[in-house]
């Protein structure tokens, strides 16, 4: 239907779920977070750069500033690992995006079990983060890495179980079939699974009530402490990339993907709108909640959240036998 239909996966790799989308989301999300949180707290937020458009160029100014600040490589670390782990972390956090379809034809790598692969890759990111913290060899990064391991222990099983609930309900993990099956959105079919998934998303992107690994008043920046300059952008921007991947997965699994639209372009726009709707509450969480202690987060994850996700699986088995889908 389109002249570039043959290479629509190239477009996907370059533009929307791919590289440009990720980098653009980084800029927009950081600006939007600062601005929204400022409004909630009755401040103005960044206005120094480009006052006319609400300081939108502030993240870019920060980027330029960080690129031209000195890159310090501490002497006690393994320099090759110190340089390469942030890169690997950023790419690993971007990898799940490749297996999720953003619109008809707009997928980077099609696999009939794509969504399951995406979730497995998502869960493996914590390993890179811990490796990064280990290669930095610092007391704060050590504590941050420990907290990251423990927090991932708290969210991984609810996340997997909420995914199991949705896969059981749809009977497939094909990124296209999953969307085609959603005549009623997944969030209405199984709200329990959505709630469990969403809270796990908050935990895995370490948004605010669970911002435990990089708690600034306690451990300077957690696993990112030693990094400055461009490596700081790569390591710290990684959490936003994870948020992007999570919002994409959530909009495909629970919000009907590109559902009302049928062609590629409008489908992509619909998906972007749904991703924005999913990411918005995550961005304003910083202004709403205080921070849990690590033991509170673990207890929450292993009691209420786990019970919720188990209930979600049982609920979708029941729905399946009732013949809803």
Provide the minimum distance between the beta carbon of 2 and another protein in the complex, in angstroms, as a whole number. 16
Q: Which residue stretch of 47-55, 225-233, 249-257, 267-275 sits at the interface with another protein (rule: CB under 8 A)?
A: 225-233
- Spatial separation of the C-alpha atoms in residues 194 and 255, rounded to whole Å: 10
Provide the minimum distance between the beta carbon of 179 and another protein in the complex, in angstroms, as a whole number. 16
33 touching another protein, by CB under 8 A:
no
- Residue 260 or 314 having the CB closest to another protein: 314
Question: Residue 224: phi, psi to the nearest 5?
Answer: -105, 10
196 touching another protein, by CB under 8 A:
no
- Spatial separation of the C-alpha atoms in residues 288 and 265, rounded to whole Å: 35
- Residue 56 or 109 having the CB closest to another protein: 109
Contact 179, 252 (CB under 8 A): yes
Q: Which residue stretch of 146-154, 186-194, 245-253, 267-275 sits at the interface with another protein (rule: CB under 8 A)?
A: 146-154
For another protein, which residue of 16, 18, 182, 212 counts as binding (CB under 8 A)? Answer: 18
173 touching another protein, by CB under 8 A:
yes
92 touching another protein, by CB under 8 A:
no
Restricted to residues 258-287, the positions that interact with another protein (CB under 8 A) are 281, 284, 287
For another protein, which residue of 24, 51, 71, 293 counts as binding (CB under 8 A)? Answer: 71
- Residue 291 or 299 having the CB closest to another protein: 299
- Spatial separation of the C-alpha atoms in residues 99 and 238, rounded to whole Å: 18
- Residue 56 or 289 having the CB closest to another protein: 289
Restricted to residues 113-132, the positions that interact with another protein (CB under 8 A) are 113, 116, 119
139 touching another protein, by CB under 8 A:
yes
- Spatial separation of the C-alpha atoms in residues 6 and 203, rounded to whole Å: 39
- Residue 89 or 247 having the CB closest to another protein: 89
- Spatial separation of the C-alpha atoms in residues 125 and 131, rounded to whole Å: 10
Provide the minimum distance between the beta carbon of 302 and another protein in the complex, in angstroms, as a whole number. 6
74 touching another protein, by CB under 8 A:
yes
Contact 256, 186 (CB under 8 A): yes
CB atoms within 10 A of CB 260: 9
76 touching another protein, by CB under 8 A:
yes
- Residue 15 or 260 having the CB closest to another protein: 15
Residue 127, SS3 per DSSP: helix
Provide the minimum distance between the beta carbon of 182 and another protein in the complex, in angstroms, as a whole number. 16
For another protein, which residue of 100, 101, 132, 163 counts as binding (CB under 8 A)? Answer: 163
How far apart, in Å, are the Cα atoms of 107 and each of 131, 242, 274? 30, 18, 17
DSSP 84-108: HHHHHHHHHHHGGGGGS-SSTT--S
Contact 221, 214 (CB under 8 A): yes
- Residue 119 or 252 having the CB closest to another protein: 119
- Spatial separation of the C-alpha atoms in residues 197 and 166, rounded to whole Å: 10
Nearest to 199 by CA among 304, 99, 100, 287: 304
**Is the C-alpha dihedral spanning 121, 29, 147, 307 positive or negative?**
negative
Provide the minimum distance between the beta carbon of 139 and another protein in the complex, in angstroms, as a whole number. 6
């Amino acid at each position: 239907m389109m002249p570039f239909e043959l290479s629509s996966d190239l477009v996907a790799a370059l533009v929307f779920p791919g590289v440009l989308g990720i980098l653009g989301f980084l800029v927009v999300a950081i600006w939007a977070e600062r601005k929204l949180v400022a409004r909630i707290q009755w401040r103005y937020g960044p206005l120094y750069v480009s006052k006319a458009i609400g300081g939108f160029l502030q993240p870019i100014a920060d980027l330029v500033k960080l690129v031209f600040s000195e890159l310090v490589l501490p002497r006690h670390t393994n320099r090759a690992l110190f340089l390469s782990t942030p890169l690997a972390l950023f790419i690993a956090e971007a990898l799940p995006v490749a297996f999720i379809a953003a619109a008809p034809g707009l997928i980077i790598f099609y696999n009939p079990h794509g969504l399951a692969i995406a979730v497995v890759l998502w869960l493996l990111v914590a390993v890179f983060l811990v490796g990064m913290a280990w290669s930095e060899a610092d007391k704060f990064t050590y504590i941050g890495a420990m907290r990251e391991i423990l927090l991932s222990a708290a969210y991984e099983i609810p996340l997997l179980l909420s995914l199991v609930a949705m896969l059981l309900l749809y009977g497939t993990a094909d990124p296209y079939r999953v969307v085609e099956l959603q005549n009623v959105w997944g969030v209405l079919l199984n709200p329990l699974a959505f709630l469990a998934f969403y809270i796990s998303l908050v935990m895995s992107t370490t948004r605010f009530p669970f911002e435990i690994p990089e708690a600034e008043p306690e451990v300077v920046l957690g696993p990112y402490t030693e990094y400055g300059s461009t490596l700081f952008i790569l390591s710290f921007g990684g959490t936003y990339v994870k948020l992007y991947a999570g919002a994409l997965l959530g909009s495909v699994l629970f919000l009907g993907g590109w559902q009302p639209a049928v062609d590629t372009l409008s489908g992509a726009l619909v998906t972007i709108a749904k991703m924005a709707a999913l990411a918005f509450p995550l961005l304003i969480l910083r202004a709403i909640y205080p921070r849990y202690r690590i033991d509170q987060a673990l207890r929450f994850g292993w009691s209420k959240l786990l019970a919720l996700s188990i209930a979600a699986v049982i609920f979708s088995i029941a729905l399946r036998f009732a013949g809803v889908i």
